[in-house]
Each structure stands twice: as C-alpha cells, then as structure tokens.
Amino acid sequence: MLGKKWVNCYSRNMENCIFCKIIAGEIPCTKVYEDDVSFAFLDINPINLGHTLLIPKDHHENLHEIPENLLSRLMPPLKKLANAIKESVRADGINIGQNNGSAAGQVVYHYHVHIIPRFSGDGLKHWPGKPYLLDEAAEIAEKIKSHLS
C-alpha cells in the first residue's frame, strides 16, 4: 500500500504521476532494468510472480501521445525483459499488455507496458472473442483504413 501521501498519484498530471516519482526515487520500487530512455520494475500487485512494468523515463500519458521514436526505443528492452522474465521464473509463456484510457483499464496515466509471465494452469482466462456479423468486418476495415492517413 502506498499510504495517504500518494492517494492522488493516479492523476493525469506529471507532477502527481506515481511513475515519474518512482523514476525520481521519491517512491521506492524493485527495479529490474534501466537505460537512458526506459525504466522497469516489478508490479506491486503482480498477476504472476515476475510481472514487470516497462516505462519510458519521459512522461507520456498513453500510446496515443508517446512519440514514435521513443516507442521504437522501448521495443529492444521489452524483448530483453520478456526473455529474461520467461527464463528466470520458468514461465510457459509471456503476455505483453498495454492499456490506453480508463475504459481499457488504464489506471496510471504514464505510458507503460505490462510483461506478465504465464504458466500452464495458472487459472487466468483469455478475453472471449465474438464473430463479426455479416458484412460487419468489411465495414469496420474500411472505417479503419479511412483513418490511417
């Protein structure tokens, strides 16, 4: 538990961002990796042991706001961490998760990637899928394509 001092640390403003405070050393964490642009630490409420968060050192609220050049610089440490986590905890697989907006489950408004080790029989379920209705897939694909410019 973070205590009363950090009750409002889930705000969208950088001054109250819990992850910015972790990077600055104002809030303790269990760091597992750091380089010039990224920082990784164990999640305090892990889905499975080894659940790690990778964040950029610069504050960006979500995927929609993070610059592409920074996003691309996060991919090599993401792969390195996923491999190290899988080996170290002998996981059967790895989930990579990234939530954008409260409807998607984002709680801390600083871009972050969850690296979650998975084990056969860990009891976690995957999201249920549902088929498209007739012609629905083509309509949605066209809508997406129209916004790719």
The set of catalytic residues is: 112
Rounded CA separation 37/55 (Å) = 9
- The alpha carbon dihedral of 102, 104, 107, 108 has a sign of negative
Would you mind telling me the total number of residues written for the chain in this entry?
A: 149
What residues contact residue 113 under an 8 Å CB cut-off, 6+ apart?
53, 54, 55, 74, 78, 96, 97, 98
